[in-house]
Structure 1
Amino acid sequence: MQPTLLILAAGMASRYGSLKQIQQFGPSGETIIDYSIYDAIRAGFGKIVFIIRKDFEAEFREIFEPKLKGRVAVDYVYQEMDAYLNGYPVPADRTKPWGTAHAVLCAKDAINEPFAVINGDDFYGRDSFEKMAAFLNSACKPAVYSVVGYELGKTISEHGSVSRGVCAADAAGNLAAINERTKVYKDGDQIVYEDADGSKHPLDANTPVSMNFWGFHPSVFELSQQLFRDFLEKDGDKPKSEFFIPIVVDHFIKNKLGVVNVLPCAAQWFGVTYKEDAPGVQTSLSALVESGEYPNNLWK
């Protein structure tokens, strides 16, 4: 059975104002998601599942269905505020979605095979999809998950700070810990992360970081459901609390439920954290098209 690619896109409308404006970066109007799907199909993924908000389903289908019809199976899942709450009442002041691990949990009924998770607005590169497909096809098990580890220096924005999951790997190349650093940036010649109190800590440019490109066995759904219940009890009443994928992964590792392989990747990441990042993304994609890595029109 071919692996599935789960694309987290439920937050996209709020970031872009409207889906019609999903930014076109490629020479034939391609979005960043188009490149991810193209790379996934050529790496051997058999199905694409989009996690979206129900209120922009029609627009979303309009953008992607004509391109993907006949090329790959496509499914849509909604990240709704009341999904998988098991009777827990949605707090009246809650407007923020419950986070990336909740988004993954919402796909429980759509996925029965090993699958990868990515963000909708990050460019990951062909190499990472090939490594992930190889892992999902041959090594993924209920006790073996994976994450693509990018080199920190290749994932920094020139236009401000970024959030990165800083990975520590053990001698066997498995994830020992992942720490979410919410303010990482270039400070002169070095890269630093800043704590809530404003103190700065240097990070090596070669440090592996997660860009939210995960490889999971479907067993992760049951674990996530259990941990989401715990999360709601502890933090459900905080209007900005979020149930992130690293919370699930951290529990999986610390409770010795299995291992998470770090798949090293030397690709240059790029994405649109700030609107000022957009011209750089366009330039980078043009260079990849010119070098023959991608055709001038992905879906022709």
Structure 2
Amino acid sequence: MKKTTLLIMAAGIGSRFGGGIKQLEPVGLHDEIIMDYSIHDAIEAGFNKIIFVIRKDIESDFRERIGNRIEAVCGKKGVEVAYAFQDLNDIPAEVPAGRTKPWGTGQAVLAAKDEIHEPFMVINADDYYGKEAYRQMHDWLVVDHADNAIAMAGFILKNTLSDNGGVTRGVCKVEEGHTHVIDVVETGNIVKTVDESGVVGASADGVKLDPDSYVSMNMWGFPAEEGCAPVFLKVLEEEFRTFFEKDVPENPLKAEYLLPTLIGGLIRGEKYTVKVLETKDKWFGVTYKEDKEAVMESFKKLISDGLYQEELYSDL
């Protein structure tokens, strides 16, 4: 079987969660965290390598909370586990005075470049994506594609909103037929709206958005020849240097190197194509502390509906 990697970006500071490590919050019946379900679904779909991208300062807590347990589970299944570390100072320039946070999802992937020698998928640590997206992404990655091809799990905007505040999403434009993305615009402060008849909508800073539009949830797939690093990693590294030349001088304390922004530019420049892998699954995640109770109830329902066992890994 062709080797495929799941890269989990878990280095986020979690500022909207009150400074805690939100990726490590328990949400399952037996103290599982969201990452447990992501890893379960990825292994079930056929992924056979896991890379955690974390910060060095949370390594001990991370290994104690999930890393050691996942290594034991993966060891029984023949799934490799590796770690990479996202570091504020690991950049092709000097760190601006006063900068305290890492440089975003693009840098997170670059932190793991030495560990990636096969097709890989990227996800956020604190998002639940559902089983369908993992199956579709794995099936796409094990087939040969051009070096400039990318796949994106296409979630429906109204299925990805929080009841407790604004969220950031890569809002997509797709061609007729809904097969390929023609633009991605990273859009912040998207809030859920509900009209008098109960229909869910969305707006960003007062501007209405199409609630049925596709959005990126940072679930991307990148092809590679077996045993080779994906070509995309070279592009990611080159564009990181450009980011420090153009974007950082304008906003040195807050500029972020984000995958949706980069990929949107590559699409507009006709350098890459992005295949939409549509999923109707409902996203949920712990963006805010207030989200946690609803997420816990969602996992209880998934278990009662038979999608997961109470002992999560017992069916692998």
Matching of residues 1-300 of structure 1 within 5 Å: 1-12=2-13, 15=17, 17=19, 19=21, 22-63=24-65, 64-69=67-72, 70=75, 71=77, 72-83=79-90, 85-86=91-92, 88-171=93-176, 173-189=179-195, 191-195=201-205, 200-217=206-223, 218-237=230-249, 238-300=252-314
TM-score by length of 2: 0.88
Are the equivalent residues in 2 in contact too, given 1:8–1:52 (CA < 8 A)?
A: yes
Are the equivalent residues in 1 in contact too, given 2:120–2:222 (CA < 8 A)?
A: yes
State the aligned residue count: 294
TM-score by length of 1: 0.92
- SS of 1:11's equivalent in the other structure is coil
Q: What's the offset of the Cα at 1:216?
A: 1.3
Q: What's the offset of the Cα at 1:47?
A: 0.4
Which amino acid counterpart does residue 231 of structure 1 have in structure 2?
F
CA distance in 2, matches of 1:247, 1:154: 21
CA distance in 2, matches of 1:213, 1:266: 14
Are the equivalent residues in 1 in contact too, given 2:154–2:278 (CA < 8 A)?
A: yes
Q: What's the offset of the Cα at 1:56?
A: 1.5
Cα offsets for 1:97-156 (capped at 9, x unmatched): 111111111111110111010000000010111011111111543121111111111111
CA distance in 2, matches of 1:211, 1:175: 14
Moved more, 201-210 or 218-227: 201-210
Cα offsets for 1:159-187 (capped at 9, x unmatched): 12211111111135111001111011123
Q: What's the offset of the Cα at 1:61?
A: 1.6
Which amino acid counterpart does residue 106 of structure 1 have in structure 2?
A
Gaps of 5+ in 1: none
CA distance in 2, matches of 1:45, 1:239: 37
CA distance in 2, matches of 1:270, 1:66: 23
Which amino acid counterpart does residue 205 of structure 1 have in structure 2?
P
Which amino acid counterpart does residue 122 of structure 1 have in structure 2?
D
Percent same amino acid among aligned pairs? 41
Are the equivalent residues in 2 in contact too, given 1:20–1:59 (CA < 8 A)?
A: no
- SS of 1:138's equivalent in the other structure is coil
Which amino acid counterpart does residue 7 of structure 2 have in structure 1?
L
Q: What's the offset of the Cα at 1:96?
A: 1.6
**What residue in structure 1 maps to residue 227 of structure 2?**
none
- Give the RMSD, CA atoms, in angstroms: 1.8
Gaps of 5+ in 2: 224-229
